[in-house]
Amino acid sequence: MAADFDVAIVGSGAGGGVAAALLAARGFKVALLEKGRNPFPTLAEPMLTGSLFGNDEIKLRRYFCFHDPMIEPRTFRERADQAAAQREVQGLGVCVGGGTVHYDGDSPRVQAADLRLLSTFGRVDGAEVVDWPISYDELAPYYDWTEQLIGIQGAAGSDPFAESRGPYPMPPGYPPKAALLLAEGARSLGYHPHPMPMAINSVAYRGRPACVDCGFCRCGCPVNAKGSTAVTAVRDALLTGNCTLLAECCVTAVETEPSGERASGVRYLDRHGDECRLTAKQVILAANAIETARLLLASSSAAHPDGLGNRSGLVGRYLMFHTVFSAVALFDKELRGYRGRIVTHALADFTVSDGSPGFVRGGYVELGGQLQPVEEGASYPWLLHSALMKDGRFRRNMTTVSMMGEDMPVAGNRVELDPKVRDVYGRPVARLTYQRHPHDQAVIDRYSPKLRRIAEAAGASSVMDVDMARQFGVPETKHLMGTARMGADPSSSITDPWCRLHALENVWIADGSVFPTSTAFNPTLTQQALAARTAAYIADPANPLSVLE
Amino acid sequence: MQDAQNLSRRTFLGGAVVLVCSSPLAGCGPQDPQELKIGPWVIPPKTTFAPERFAQLAALFDALIPADKPLPGATATRAAFYLDQLLGAFRVNPPRIFAGGPYSGRHGGADNFSSFQRLTRVEEIRWRTYLEGSLGIPEREFNGPVKGLTEIYEENLEALEAAAQAKRQRGFAFLPFDERHALVGAHDPEFVNLAYQHAVEGTYGDPVYGGNKDYLGWKGISYEGDRQPLGYSAQQMANPEEG
């Protein structure tokens, strides 16, 4: 019997959207399943106009198009011997476009050394540090293609630690005051700040307008100046006529043929709550590193009793988030960080050895931060409301210097199915077990003073060291990686180097799950480039690069 | 509890019966001739809470975010009405949960915010459960019974009222600020924090949700509010001390 679709893609975010665009353009009949809604009424129209997002903090606080902990709870614990408690942890966008709808748009590439962590920096006790099974050079053409698709602003050559590359699709936009001050401070210390590569239009690009710097990136871009995969890749896929978008459809399992060696399609609940099935020749999972692992574990069968593709028992393991910590800087002068894009500058100086003994590799550093008033007021104790809101320094005079520290891959950090808690669809929720590795703390200890020094050099009158995970009791980085790492050896990895499950020849992963190590950089663009690479391989295994032409 | 029971009955009817107002917001502002006053508290017409309960809510929010120049406080910004409109979100269709987009119309473009959005199936389950409670309905009790926000406020406002009567022999809404403030400080901190979060949202959130009346919350902190479609110019970003 003929399959309903050539490819079923679960999740329309960073990876799923890019895979859909590439495959639909090559004539594949694609079903793109998304459990969230479509907030872009004209997504498949000839002219893209606006969205249902607005400069509206309330809508975000009510989880509009976002992971809602009442709809899909999660449980969290630090150690396996603890009881897991329901916590709001690591939510991402839940709508067409997924996490790229609410992100800052930060889109750096990794360095070649990021994919050769073991070879470059050596073993780390208590962690499974490995080299990626692919090199930067293999990934580079897919970065190039993805940057054109999404529309990335940046200044080639401005980061001396980046791999050599051609020009970005568009130049950097104009920066806010805080970023200029921090960049100048960093430069005075001998560092190399540069414009952050961003998926935000500095000029009109492929039918989408230039950003007007309203400052509400995290609420979703009202005018589609941000290059979410929704308004770039998914839109391209839909305009081919080859892609069927199934929004508000929650996939509950990947179904397999009786042999268990191939997937036959997916089972899902449609927008009315009715159970449906669709068949597909290929299945791509792109639901994010927590949800993809959850779906694999929930798709157990007689042939896969411990979850799909989980004969090694490693599905869900090596969960990584990045270790994010900040120097929160208060200036005497007004900065109004809420004016404009959140982060516009960055530096990579701490990702390479400065020659000092006992070098610990740090991560990419973001320059900039903001606070909108509802978020600000809600963060204060009620008894201090008047004093702090009147003072207003955290709203008007504050900015931040933040590091994305490499997060060690540890087998005990994992996603499992919670034995008790259910979501609104009736499914077991994700139970996260996550504890920092000593290396993560070593990164904080080494680099916190350096971040502080940058803020002081920029003129800050007061600087606070903030460790967000410690402050809130859970890691909240929105960088979800690991849980189905890729590798050549089926006994130590879940997918092959093309991100196909070792155990099933037609099931692929196109999200951060496949990262063997976290890298020292924001992960979205790398997820997208990997998704493009996987999709190109599906389209033409003999010559995937030709698919990009 | 009368409100919760009425909402429950409507839910058991499968959501087919909804009360549709002509305006997204039930109240029409202080200029409305039907406006009531209970003690110092202005009660807009057609509130979800009964007027006496609304007065208690207003008295609570005032204690949490008092006027303190230049801050207008929760009373002037009508933050209690924000919460009241959330509790009665399903009295209109689409419910008053998610405002529309992309523009408010205040800086050009159409007023899209006031066209509230339909909810998806699971969003409706979620918001009805949150506001009304699970009420024994299986699809809402996937992790057991849930007490609704309306009931939580009813219970806690009743407890504050009882405490006021016991200690001061007067209704909570009629106590002076210092006495209300002391009672709130001695109340269940979990509820106080929940109410504070709502008071903040009603003070500084977009006015389309019923609070931040006349943008007083934003004006009080010299905040520009929503900016689309104008955004900020290069000049405004380079000179943040300027308006």
Mean pLDDT of A519-540: 98
Lowest-confidence segment of A29-38, A300-309, A537-546, B12-21 by average pLDDT: B12-21
The predicted structure's pLDDT at residue A365: 98
Closest CA to B167 of B189, B188, B154, B184: B184
Mean pLDDT of B197-203: 98
Q: Are A271 and B120 inside 8 Å of each other by CB? A: yes
The predicted structure's pLDDT at residue B5: 33
Q: Is residue B210 scored above 90 in pLDDT?
A: yes
Identity (one letter) of the amino acid at A150?
Answer: I
Mean pLDDT of A220-241: 98
Does residue A161 sit at the B interface (CB-CB below 8 Å)?
no
The predicted structure's pLDDT at residue A470: 81
Instruction: Say if residues A423 and A383 touch (Cβ distance below 8 Å).
Output: no
Instruction: Say if residues A320 and A481 touch (Cβ distance below 8 Å).
Output: yes
pLDDT band for position A473 (cuts 50, 70, 90): confident
Q: Is residue B19 scored above 80 in pLDDT?
A: no
Q: Is residue A546 scored above 80 in pLDDT?
A: yes
pLDDT digits (tens, 9 = 90+) for A83-112: 999 999 999 999 999 999 999 999 999 999
Cα separation of A460 and A166, whole Å? Answer: 36
pLDDT digits (tens, 9 = 90+) for B153-162: 999 999 999 9
Report percent pLDDT > 90 for chain A. 96
Q: Is residue A229 scored above 70 in pLDDT?
A: yes
Nearest chain B CA: its distance from A72 CA (Å): 10
Cα separation of A237 and A20, whole Å? Answer: 6
The predicted structure's pLDDT at residue B242: 81
Cα separation of A187 and A205, whole Å? Answer: 31
Q: What is the DSSP string of A102-138?
A: TS--B-PPPPGGGGBHHHHH---TTS---B-SS-HHH
Identity (one letter) of the amino acid at B56?
Answer: Q
> Is the bond preceding B229 in cis, omega lying within 30 degrees of 0?
yes
- How far CA A441 is from CA of A84, A227, A400, A469, in Å, comes to 23, 34, 20, 11
Q: A236-251 burial string, b = 16+ CB within 10 Å, else e?
A: bbbbbebbbbbbbbbb
Q: Are A56 and B226 inside 8 Å of each other by CB? A: yes
Mean pLDDT of chain A: 96
- Spatial strand order in the sheet of A345-347: A194-195, A345-347, A364-367, A398-405, A323-330, A462-467
Cα separation of A54 and B105, whole Å? Answer: 11
Q: Is residue B30 scored above 80 in pLDDT?
A: no
The predicted structure's pLDDT at residue A172: 98
Cα separation of A46 and A40, whole Å? Answer: 13
Mean pLDDT of A317-340: 96
Lowest-confidence segment of A187-196, A362-371, B28-37 by average pLDDT: B28-37
pLDDT band for position B28 (cuts 50, 70, 90): very low
The predicted structure's pLDDT at residue A471: 79
Q: Are A51 and B102 inside 8 Å of each other by CB? A: yes
Q: Is residue A197 scored above 80 in pLDDT?
A: yes
Mean pLDDT of A390-412: 95
Report percent pLDDT > 70 for chain A. 100
Q: Is residue A472 scored above 90 in pLDDT?
A: no
Cα dihedral across residues A14, A15, A16, A21: positive or negative: positive
Mean pLDDT of A204-228: 97
Q: Are B225 and A56 inside 8 Å of each other by CB? A: no
Mean pLDDT of A504-527: 98
Q: B204, B208, B222, B241: which to substitute to probe chain A, counting the most A Cβ within 10 Å?
A: B204
A50: left (phi over 0), alpha (psi -120 to 50) or beta: left
Q: How many residues does chain B have?
A: 243
Does residue A461 sit at the B interface (CB-CB below 8 Å)?
no
Instruction: Say if residues B129 and B146 touch (Cβ distance below 8 Å).
Output: yes
The predicted structure's pLDDT at residue B25: 57
Query: A247 pairs with which residues across the strands?
Result: A34
pLDDT band for position B39 (cuts 50, 70, 90): very high
A265: left (phi over 0), alpha (psi -120 to 50) or beta: left
Q: Is residue A452 scored above 80 in pLDDT?
A: yes
Residues of B in contact with A223 (CB under 8 A): 102, 228-229
pLDDT band for position B27 (cuts 50, 70, 90): very low
Residue of A nearest to B230 (CA): A212
pLDDT band for position B32 (cuts 50, 70, 90): low
Mind spelling out the 3-state secondary structure of B150-209? HHHHHHHHHHHHHHHHHHHCCCHHHCCHHHHHHHHHCCCHHHHHHHHHHHHHHHHCCHHH
Does residue A123 sit at the B interface (CB-CB below 8 Å)?
no
Mean pLDDT of B86-101: 98
Model pTM? 0.95
- Spatial strand order in the sheet of A85-86: A85-86, A74-77, A428-433, A414-422
Q: Write the CB contacts of A64 (distance below 8 Å, at least 6 apart in sequence).
A: A39, A53, A220, B98
Q: What is the DSSP string of A249-260?
A: -EEEEEEE-TTS
Q: Write the CB contacts of A189 (distance below 8 Å, at least 6 apart in sequence).
A: A453, A454, A457
Mean pLDDT of B91-101: 97
Instruction: Say if residues A411 and A317 touch (Cβ distance below 8 Å).
Output: yes
Q: Estimate the crossing angle of helix B51-64 against helix B79-87, to 10 degrees.
A: 130
Residue of A nearest to B117 (CA): A52
Instruction: Say if residues A179 and A196 touch (Cβ distance below 8 Å).
Output: no
Residues of B in contact with A71 (CB under 8 A): 122-123, 125-126
Residues 272-331 of A with CB under 8 A from B: 272-273
Q: Is residue A134 scored above 90 in pLDDT?
A: yes
pLDDT digits (tens, 9 = 90+) for A240-253: 999 999 999 999 99
Cα separation of A512 and A224, whole Å? Answer: 24
Nearest chain B CA: its distance from A488 CA (Å): 40
Closest CA to B57 of B173, B228, B150, B175: B173
The predicted structure's pLDDT at residue A35: 98
What's the complex ipTM?
Answer: 0.96
pLDDT digits (tens, 9 = 90+) for B106-119: 999 999 999 999 99
Residues of B in contact with A175 (CB under 8 A): 237
